[in-house]
Structure 1
């Protein structure tokens, strides 16, 4: 029986069609026909060279609209602290300062500056306290020159430790500015601050000039650093100088104001010479630098120039290149000229047409 089954299997295998081949291990491997590749024909693109019609772009119609810009003039408020060298060698220079003081006040009034002024000394013994019976001089103080002269007249015998930077700092900080203290009411919250030192010696305060410049600029609060300036009328750099008529006198040479000059430079102040025959030009430069009133007012949009009209607190201002206002296209602003600078706190209204799509 076993032989019969074996014979049947052998005959069955012999009867199968041969497909593929063996791989040597008794496994069938099919034959795979090679692929038939057809050639690919690459043809050049067909370009339509027929002419096309040009497209004409036409600007959309423009419509004139009216714009009104309401702008505010600054308040023009400045507090001015004088720190004066009270030494005997400064007697002539203090007289010169008093002699030029009226011109300084006149310029401030012309510029419509709302000012307060106080005087302290540069010596440590005074501690930054304001001097005089009338400690604060304002726009309305009767005979401000006489008050200033009284406040800058010092006793003959004084201490010689001169610390102008430290004394001005003390004058402008607590406790001197606290209620009931000597400098109460001097610093106004909305005012710019100007410090002016007049001396023939350099500062001997402890602390770097960077420290004092930062301290002064920080007095008006963060973001208001530019409201503070420090100016010096002192000895010239690099070797100092001798005031007119004092050549050969003991102690007449003014020391170079190195430290004061550095603080003035860091705060954008004015530097003048204590050896000038007159301080008028330096004082005028300081006064003009204290003018916080704006002459230039930018427009929000670009106007049709001929349409611009200007009013200040409701009053129409004439368009005039000398005494009135003028539009400047290069800065897109209105500039006030001559006697028409808007007064402190006034409202400037700029009305104009502008074109829009």
Structure 2
């Protein structure tokens, strides 16, 4: 017979190793065995942002004319939230054509000045820049286009400014009806269908996620979202953006269905994220499923996808339900037992 005097782990020390006594009775003999639990606690603050950099990556292929117009028409839902927060923002748009195609050169910039700032007026005035045309490369390399815009001091043209500021959080938004084909040149001589039939030759998603995180060296300051094709999309000529979805999931982001007629809710949610209202936080270490305890301003929330939070053991993300997202200024404390079998999050 095995009996346990195991107390609630939440009453153990917040950091370091906590010993737990277990009594084992065998053939009339009793032994006490010490089991060590690696107890962890992390604290986050839902602080309003002072600065945010927003990169829009728009598909510029022939099937995207309608989607671009829909984005422009409904962009006010995003702009209203951003303007209302009164923060110092920068925005830039690039296309999924991340390099030269057909010998024609690079995808053109959409204005004389690539980066739009809050000093120029309403965020709504940025919307016209999202009409990037439909003559782009039929191999949509959106992920590599984003990295090019975020990590290169220069590029094409050489005097192009760098979007990322050290004191600003980063939001990257992809709008496309195809999956990513970032191949680092591996498929340059192949047809566009190879983007789907030869995905093993594409740049691994994990490498792209790590590169995005390295922009700020903190995953909780980088969020990726998208208006994409999903597995449930029912409109023609739309394909699931699975690679984009994996990057969004790894950073605590989300995707909306590009086939939807009303994107205003998704754009409003993007605006909330841009102003610092996060609904997910990634832990520094893996947690044992079932061991996670979450406190918002010292009030405990329960693990419940509808009214509390969920924990993803693959990405180490704690995500709050829509009605449980901590308010601005809230302090979030997350306690958990470390999962010693996981050392790297899965992407």
TM-score range, shorter chain: 0.5 to 0.7
Select 1:77's aligned residue among 42, 51, 69: 51
Counterpart of 1:9 in structure 2 is none
Q: Structure 1 residues 124 and 235 mapped into 2: Cα distance closer, same or farther (>3 Å)?
A: same
8 Å CA contact retained: 1:116, 1:139: yes
Structure 1: unaligned runs, 5 residues or longer? 1-70, 243-251, 295-326, 332-339, 343-357
Select 1:152's aligned residue among 130, 134, 140: 130
CA distance in 2, matches of 1:121, 1:328: 42
8 Å CA contact retained: 2:54, 2:172: yes
Measured after TM superposition, the shift of residue 147 of structure 1 is: 3.8
Q: How does 1:42-121 map to 2 (within 5 A)?
A: 75-121=49-95
1:86-123 Cα offsets, whole Å, 9 max, x none, are: 11211111111011112201111223432111000001
Select 1:241's aligned residue among 219, 234, 256: 234
2:113 corresponds to 1:134? yes
CA distance in 2, matches of 1:269, 1:285: 11
1:172-206 Cα offsets, whole Å, 9 max, x none, are: 11243799621x14211101011100000010112
2:191 corresponds to 1:197? no
8 Å CA contact retained: 1:104, 1:287: yes
Measured after TM superposition, the shift of residue 160 of structure 1 is: 1.4
Q: Structure 1 residues 165 and 142 mapped into 2: Cα distance closer, same or farther (>3 Å)?
A: same
1:24-75 Cα offsets, whole Å, 9 max, x none, are: xxxxxxxxxxxxxxxxxxxxxxxxxxxxxxxxxxxxxxxxxxxxxxx99664
**3-state SS of paired residue (1:103):** helix
Q: CA RMSD in A?
A: 3.1
Greater gyration radius: 1
Counterpart of 1:170 in structure 2 is 148
Counterpart of 1:282 in structure 2 is 266
Structure 2: unaligned runs, 5 residues or longer? 1-44, 101-105, 184-202, 279-295, 301-326, 330-347
**3-state SS of paired residue (1:125):** coil
**3-state SS of paired residue (2:174):** strand
8 Å CA contact retained: 2:245, 2:255: yes
1:140-164 Cα offsets, whole Å, 9 max, x none, are: 3235434431x22234533212100
Counterpart of 1:291 in structure 2 is 275
8 Å CA contact retained: 2:152, 2:162: no
Q: Structure 1 residues 103 and 75 mapped into 2: Cα distance closer, same or farther (>3 Å)?
A: closer
8 Å CA contact retained: 1:161, 1:204: yes
CA distance in 2, matches of 1:290, 1:113: 10
8 Å CA contact retained: 1:100, 1:279: yes
CA distance in 1, matches of 2:62, 2:46: 48
Q: Structure 1 residues 130 and 116 mapped into 2: Cα distance closer, same or farther (>3 Å)?
A: farther
**3-state SS of paired residue (1:170):** helix
- Structure having the higher strand fraction is 2
Select 2:212's aligned residue among 212, 216, 230: 216
1:297-321 Cα offsets, whole Å, 9 max, x none, are: xxxxxxxxxxxxxxxxxxxxxxxxx
